[in-house]
Amino acid sequence: MEMGRVIGSLTATQKDGQLEGLVLRLLQPVDADDCPVGEIVVATDSIGADEGQLVFYVTAYEAVIPLRKQPALTDATIIGIIDSMNIPSDGN
Amino acid sequence: MVIGKVIGNLWATRKDEKLHGLKLLVVQHTDLQEQLKSSYVVAVDAVGAGVGDLVMVTTGSSARQSELTAGKPVDAVISGIIDRIDVGQ
């Protein structure tokens, strides 16, 4: 899974029918220091994340597993909202 | 998924037989302000997209997660035509 910041959402009336009713979130992938890394990702949201929240998301074929309707044309799905992380800087 | 703009159609008479009947479009990736990037993808159209449409493309093995593309040699499918992008302030 990867970490990302929810920066917005996307509306697509004409889309894969299996994605109907799912929120499409815009994510900026971030690293452990919350710094942006890589390209913007559009992700289906199966847990109701809000804008600005730090989340983690599953990609590739597994992205469809959390969804009620399968199969579905998604390659990224938000599966958790991060409350906190503890990453000791000295690596212990 | 990634965001891109449909910039053209693609026809290939000689192609893998499993691709027959699939509409192929050329999509150029864009940023959130619709500025074109330098990367492209050939994608199967699953939603009736056309040249000029801003679209969402599902890639990788997830592209086979539809009746249209199940079991076919496809790793990019246009899964949505974008109406609006809302980015928080």
Contact A11 B31 (CB under 8 A): no
Spatial contact of A85 and A33, defined as CB atoms under 8 Å apart: no
Structure tokens at B16: 């893998």
* Mean pLDDT confidence for B2-25: 95
Reported as a single tens digit per residue, the pLDDT across A44-84 is 998 999 999 999 999 999 999 999 999 999 999 999 999 99
Query: ipTM of the predicted structure?
Result: 0.89
List chain B residues with CB under 8 Å of A13.
Answer: 81, 83
> CB-based burial of residue B2 (10 Å sphere; 0-12 exposed, 13-18 middle, 19+ buried)?
buried
> CB-based burial of residue A53 (10 Å sphere; 0-12 exposed, 13-18 middle, 19+ buried)?
middle
Domain regions of chain A by residue span: 1-13+20-45
CATH number for the domain formed by residue range(s) A1-13+20-45: 2.40.50.220
Reported as a single tens digit per residue, the pLDDT across B34-82 is 999 999 999 999 999 999 999 999 999 999 999 999 999 999 999 999 9
The pLDDT value given to residue A29 = 97
Q: How confident is the model at residue A88 (pLDDT cuts 50, 70, 90)?
A: confident
Spatial contact of A57 and A27, defined as CB atoms under 8 Å apart: yes
Contact A60 B58 (CB under 8 A): no
Cα distances (angstroms) measured from residue B60 to each of A63, A91, B14, B73? 11, 34, 23, 11
Reported as a single tens digit per residue, the pLDDT across A7-31 is 999 999 999 999 999 999 999 999 9
Q: How confident is the model at residue A87 (pLDDT cuts 50, 70, 90)?
A: confident
Claim: this prediction has a pTM higher than 0.90: yes
Q: How confident is the model at residue A91 (pLDDT cuts 50, 70, 90)?
A: low
The pLDDT value given to residue B54 = 98
Question: Positive or negative, the Cα torsion across B44, B49, B53, B56?
Answer: negative
Structure tokens at A84: 């906190």
> CB-based burial of residue B73 (10 Å sphere; 0-12 exposed, 13-18 middle, 19+ buried)?
exposed
The pLDDT value given to residue A89 = 78
> CB-based burial of residue B7 (10 Å sphere; 0-12 exposed, 13-18 middle, 19+ buried)?
middle
Distance CA A30, CA A36 (A): 4
**Among 1.25.40.850, 3.60.20.10, 3.20.20.70, 2.40.50.220, what is the CATH number of B2-81?**
2.40.50.220
Structure tokens at A51: 């804008």
Contact A74 B63 (CB under 8 A): no
| A14 reaches B (C-beta below 8 A) | yes
Contact A12 B87 (CB under 8 A): no
